[in-house]
Amino acid sequence: ILDAVMDKHDLVTLIVGYNKVDGDAAEKLAEFIAREDCPLTTLGLSNADVDDGECFRFIEALATNNTLTNLDLSKNLIGSDENLNVVNPDLITGGEAIAAMLASENCTLKKLNLEWNLIRFNSAVEIGDALALNTSLEELDLAYNAFGADGGMAVGQSLIENTKLLNLDLRNNGITPQAGFCIAVALRQNLCLKKIDLSGNPLGEIGGKSLMSLPMDLGDRLDLVMDSCNFKNSDDKCWFDPEGPSGLYSKEAMAAREEILEKKEVFTPSVENLIMTVDPTLRDNETHAKKIKDPSKHRLQLDGVKQQLHPSLDLSQAYDRAVLIELLRFIADKDGCAIIQPDSTQTQVSDNFVELWYTDEGSSSKEVISLVRKIETTTPNDGDDELIKWINGDRDPKEIFNKFDVDNSGEIDREELKKVFKEIGKDASEREIDRVMTQFDLDGSGDIEYDEFIAFLHQLQQETSEMQLKRKYMVKEGEKHQYRVPSSGTVQFKVLYNPRISAPGEGSSTSNETLDRILSQVKKTSGESSAMLVMSLSLMRLGVEEAQRVFDELLKGLGDRVETLKVLLPVIANPQQVRVFIDMNLRDRNPYRPGVKVKVAPNELTLEQGGLAQIIGVNEDDTLNIAWVDGGRKDVVTKEQVTLLGAAAVTSETEKRRLQGALGNAYYPIMGIPSAHYKLDMSKIGDRMCLQKLAAINNTETTTRRMAKLGDTSQKGNWMNFRNEFYRGQPFTISAWFLDPVPKQGILEFDYVSTFRPVDTTKPLSEKRFLQLMTQCFGDNPEDAIVLKNLAKETKYNHEHGLWSPKIRGDMKGKERFGLQLATLMGEVTPSAVEVAEERAKRELEDRPRTRGEEEEERRKEAEKNSRPQSRDITNNSRNIDDSIRDALRARMAGMTSLGGGSAGGEKSGDVTAGLPAFVPGNRFSIMMKQKSAGAAMGAFGKMKRMSNLMMAAAKIQKRAKKRINALKLLQQMQDLVSMKWISALQARFMLDKYTKMIGISSEDMKLKLNLTCSLHQRIVDLYNFDIVLGALDLEEQAHIINRLGWLNTWSPIKPDTYYELSQSRREERLVSKALLHLAVEEPGDNWWNETFQWNRFDKVIPGWELPITWFTESGMPSKGILKLEYYSGEGEGKHECAPRWRLRNALSGLVLAPCPEFLRCDERDEDGNWKYRSQLRSKYNQLTTAQKMLASGGIMLNYREGEGNKKRII
């Protein structure tokens, strides 16, 4: 046949597949291909028994062929001799021959089919490498070979360079997670490939996630197919975690990792130093030498260190180069991430940047490569411009509101809201309108008030900004183009990742178009669609509308609304949208909807017997049409006859509580109420996610305060909002290194306090909306408005915005309990020390002369004691029985059946009941009988009493448990309602009072009251009035709150009038003392009252102590001791010649969380033209500027300065 066709010059396609082309036929075909005048453009040799030798001959002949563009070598034996390469290195396999052809400049092939061969090992690697050099091939089918990890990574490396290939088929090639990761990284760099099929490969979680992120970044540019892949496969060689890249990448790190893996008992000095740098808690503090703790006792902790130690990256290796490329993308995309030099001691990140050591191949000198982040944003459309004008004040907001309030009702209804969207060029769906109404319509009336309308516009502008396309990449300083990672050399560096939450309007949310591509990608996959969608969630940041689409898709696979929300909520953009999304999807549904299963009770008139049925419809008269489960016959029943079964009986509140249980500790940061007490098991994924969320919130909040040049309100001066930490049962300090990355073992317990503050223009809920909120929680109570007004009057809240509310003054009795409780919580005082101090105080009290009042009280108690009835001993074991009990026993004994003898008294001998035998004094039998009878009666009485006590105790426990469950439900409901609302301190106090009164919380349930207080704290606008909230707590509860939230987060120098007990050994209290020193000097009058000082808590106070001049220097102020005082500033009326200095108080507000109120910062004058709040400065120095500079440099420093007239004055 081949002889016959060799002279046909018009033959362009030759298919000889499914024949045995070998021997002479193979040689003849090679000869035909090698002819210069060979006309073939397509040659088909599928299933033609072509082995390595014959393949080599064909490829050799192609070297001189310039016409063949399509070659099919599928379903052959290419690669069968691959194992012979081990014993015969000179052997050239068919795969190696094909690789050489593809790398040749003369290659003309455009389509090559190699599926269903045996290409593997070195041949697979060489074919992969050849793709980097090929400039002709457009379609390559490698399906059903064995490229594996090495071949897959070679393909990935080459795709970075290849600029011609359009379609690539890698189905069922054993592509591992490591190779899948390399291919995913390469596909972002490749701009020409249109389609790649990776179906049937064990891509694992990392490979799958990396590939699933491509539709989000590449759009419609690439058609990715991953059908029937194994996403659960693990690969130890794929050590890089794209979502947690933190750690040290260097030769020293790898050496330390190897020593940890070897489980050595003694490490080399350099490795020990490196381990202590990574985890300072492993330092052995008991010895002065720089040694780590016994390695044999801290293997789990050393395993955590090992996770942060990585090798330096060899850029000539495909995987290492892919790791660096992905790292640069991660740093460009995620706020709070940077690459620093490996010897740097930096632990926190403010800007995203890169500084790494690069060593070229064959060189020993290090070059520092520095990169910066560049962000390109699309311009807004016309509708966005109009919205921005509304927000920025180019148009009067009231005018905008009135424009859409067509009926002049003072509120925007649903139809008017649609016109708002239309005005700015947005086509809002019914679901979008539902979302807005759910968020802003608090009472369900269908209307939005003016303040809520303005808040809606702000949120709409933020969401619009987030949807704009933002392209981020790393560049060298001064250059415009993205940095391209070299393909050779070695790099060493350290990765820091302090995750932050993007501020509203600044982040990038997953758009509908991107989501379309992801869902389309998921639907291509048979059997794994839900798993793929869940896997890709970590790559998304969803708004409400986008989350709803994902929810609907996930619900099909998971089938449970709560489980679906558990998976979805962590990736919703912000807590505000999380709350709206939950309310939209956990609404109470109509329980009598068609399809619901019910249990039907019989009815005497209409239904003889009941059973199980299914609702098929509801009639106009509110009766139900049902179909019986057995038989299918139909009936009509009333709603009173049916009992709902299954999900129909579940309410939205029940499902919300289920959701809280499913999310566990992560519920609070996800819902935007992070201020709480946490106890986390770091071996659990949910608890690690909780800590990661809190770390991101902490980094965001502290960075915001730093940028605003505000003070550090942390407990330990480390810019961390974590307090009272315990790790593995020991006191601990959470720092940036501990959270980067979070540990995977140990129990971590701590308090978190949120320092997020609203913008100055934020207003609390109006009284109308607030009372509506209270109705949702507690039910309708017409007296609530009156109670709220009375509370405002009691706290003088309406007078100067509560600045002069009543304070703790005068009687000092019992106030020391606050300081003692706080010292105990802080660990400064042990309970045994308290007992010793109380005993000593008692002895001192006994030694001093009694006052007349005390003597009268003692006489009264003694008389009361003597008037009590005396008990008598009636048994041999000396049990004392009260006379009343004895009388009852006698009466009971009189009715008992006699053990023998005749009747007593006038009773008949035939009666069943007989009296006790007569007691004969001195008769030992009578005495014994009397004692025995009394003992038996006492035993019966004791059993009855014990049973009664048990029943009473059980009833109390049941009642207390029911009360606690109700208290928990109400607490969770209140937390949910206020989590996205800003309230005033007065409203918070009202809620706390109402909660306490309605539930009747006992001392055992104090924790619930404290939890509510912490949740309210972070939502109060006027936080300088937090003392009003503290007024609802007793002194011990106040100590608990100060311990959990901190002095600097609850106290304000705007309202310093209160009692203080400050330990100078604790940072927060020392700073408050410094602020009070400033106020004492600058504000007129005698404003320190009853001040005392003692070196130790249980020592006597220093007699006649007065504030010494040495305290007014940083070195002279003591670092220990207890300062007690009351501060007084005249109650706003200049009493005792005391008055505030508002500019100083304003400056000192930068030290604490509560900002100075806006009305104090304005230049407002009273009717006489004097400054209403701001005091006139007494010198040329600007206190405000000076104090702010001192705050910015790390806290208030007390120093002397020479003023006018050579008088020293304090700044």
Tens digit of each residue's pLDDT (9 = 90 or more) over 782-824:
888 999 998 888 887 765 555 665 544 334 456 777 888 888 8
Which structure tokens are listed for 1204?
A: 């006018």
Q: What's the pLDDT score for residue 857?
A: 63
Higher pLDDT, 1190 or 404: 404
SS3 676: strand
Share of the chain above pLDDT 90, in %: 33
Residue 1152 near residue 1051, CB atoms below 8 Å: yes
990 — pLDDT class (breaks 50, 70, 90): very high
Average pLDDT over residues 5-11: 88
Per-residue confidence at 44, pLDDT binned at 50, 70, 90?
very high
Give the type of residue at 1141. Answer: R
The dihedral built from the CA positions of residue 768, 772, 774 and 779, taken in this order, carries a sign that is positive
3-state class of 723 per DSSP? strand
Check whether 922 has a pLDDT greater than 50.
Answer: yes
Q: Which of 169-173, 810-814, 941-945 has the lowest mean pLDDT?
A: 810-814
Residue with tokens 């424009």: 403
Q: What is the pLDDT of residues 550-588, one digit of tens each?
A: 998 888 888 888 999 999 999 988 888 888 888 888 876
What length is written for the chain?
A: 1211
Token couple for 405: 């309030």
Name which of 319-333, 599-613, 796-810 the model is least confident about.
796-810
Confidence of residue 704 (pLDDT cuts 50, 70, 90): confident
Residue 339's DSSP bridge partners are: 354, 495
For 832-972, list the strands marked E by DSSP: 872-873, 880-881
CA–CA separation, 29 and 22 (whole Å): 9
Confidence class of residue 910 from pLDDT cuts 50, 70 and 90? very low
Q: What's the Rg (C-alpha) of the chain? A: 41
Q: Give the span between the Cα atoms of 299 and 275, in whole angstroms.
A: 12
Model confidence at 982: pLDDT above 80: yes
Residue carrying structure tokens 């090698």: 34
Tell me the mean pLDDT in the region 944-962: 79
pLDDT above 60 for 288: no
Amino acid at 260: I
Whether the CB-CB separation of 1069 and 1063 falls below 8 Å is answered with: yes
- Look at residue 621 in the predicted model and tell me its pLDDT: 81
Question: Any idea what DSSP says for residue 1033?
Answer: S
Q: How confident is the model over 503-511, as a mean pLDDT?
A: 61
Q: Residue 414 corresponds to which tokens in the numbers above?
A: 């649903």
**CB 137, CB 109: distance < 8 Å:** yes
User: Exposed (0-12), middle (13-18) or buried (19+): which is 2, by Cβ within 10 Å?
Assistant: middle
Tokens of 844: 């001192």
* Contact of 1092 with 1107, CB cutoff 8 Å: no
**What phi, psi does 270 have (nearest 5°)?**
-65, -40
> Residue 564: CB partners within 8 Å, gap ≥ 6?
551, 554, 555, 558
Q: Is residue 915 over pLDDT 50?
A: no
What would the pLDDT profile of 678-701 be if each residue is shown by its tens digit? 999 999 999 999 999 999 999 989
Question: pLDDT at position 905, please?
Answer: 39
Q: Give 1061: exposed, middle or buried? Use CB within 10 Å, 0-12, 13-18, 19+.
A: buried
Quote the CA–CA distance of 432 and 199 in Å, as a whole number. Answer: 37
711 closest CA partner among 1038, 1026, 1053, 984: 1053
490 by DSSP, 3-state: which? strand
- Find how far residue 1002's CA is from the centre of its chain: 31
429 compared with 604, residue with greater pLDDT? 429
- Top pLDDT among 647 and 1137 is at 1137
pLDDT of residue 1198 exceeding 60: no
Overall average pLDDT of the 187-196 stretch: 93
CB 1096 within 8 A of CB 1118: no
Q: What is the predicted pLDDT for the residue at 202?
A: 94
Q: pLDDT band for position 1104 (50/70/90)?
A: confident
pLDDT tens by residue, 661-682: 999 999 999 999 999 999 999 9
Q: Can you give the pLDDT at residue 120?
A: 93
The confidence score (pLDDT) of residue 885 equals 43
**pLDDT value at residue 607:** 65
The pLDDT confidence band at residue 1014, using thresholds 50, 70 and 90, is: very high
pTM of the complete model: 0.78
Distance (Å, rounded) from C-alpha 452 to C-alpha 436? 10
Residues with Cβ within 8 Å of 810's Cβ and at least 6 positions away in sequence, in order, are none
Going by C-alpha positions, the residue among 192, 194, 197 that lies closest to residue 226 is 197
Give 934 or 33, the one with higher predicted confidence: 33
Residue type, 694: L
Give the span between the Cα atoms of 444 and 341, in whole angstroms: 57
Enclosing H/E stretch for 889: helix 883-894
Contact in structure between 143 and 284 (CB atoms under 8 Å): no
Q: How far apart are the first and last CA of the chain?
A: 106
CA dist 790 to 373, 778, 802, 1175, Å?
A: 56, 19, 14, 32
The pLDDT of residue 244 is 86
Name the average pLDDT for the chain: 80
- Report residue 66 CA to chain centroid gap: 63
Is the peptide bond preceding residue 311 cis, with omega within 30 degrees of 0?
A: no
A 10 A CB-CB count for 353 gives 17
Closest to 1006 in 3D by CA, of 756, 815, 821: 821
pLDDT band at 508, cuts 50/70/90? low
Range among 76-80, 272-276, 393-397 rated most confident: 76-80
Mean pLDDT of 864-884: 44
User: Is-contact 643 598, C-beta < 8 A?
Assistant: yes
- Integer Cα distance of 468 and 620 in angstroms: 50
Q: How many helices (H) and strands (E) does the chain have?
A: 42, 34
Q: Is 720 helix (H, G, I), strand (E, B) or coil?
A: coil
| Widest pairwise Cα distance in the chain | 147
Q: Do 901 and 925 meet the contact criterion of CB atoms below 8 Å apart?
A: no
886-913 in b/e form (b: 16+ CB < 10 A) is eeebeeeeeeeeeeeeeeeeeeeeeeee
Instruction: Write the DSSP assignment of 1112-1170 as a string of letters.
Output: GSTTTS-SS-EEEEEE--GGGTTGGG----HHHHHHHGGGSSSPPPHHHHS--B-TTSS
Ranges of beta strands (E only) in 942-992 are none
Of 837, 819, 763, nearest to 1125 by C-alpha is 819
**Average confidence (pLDDT) over 975-981:** 84
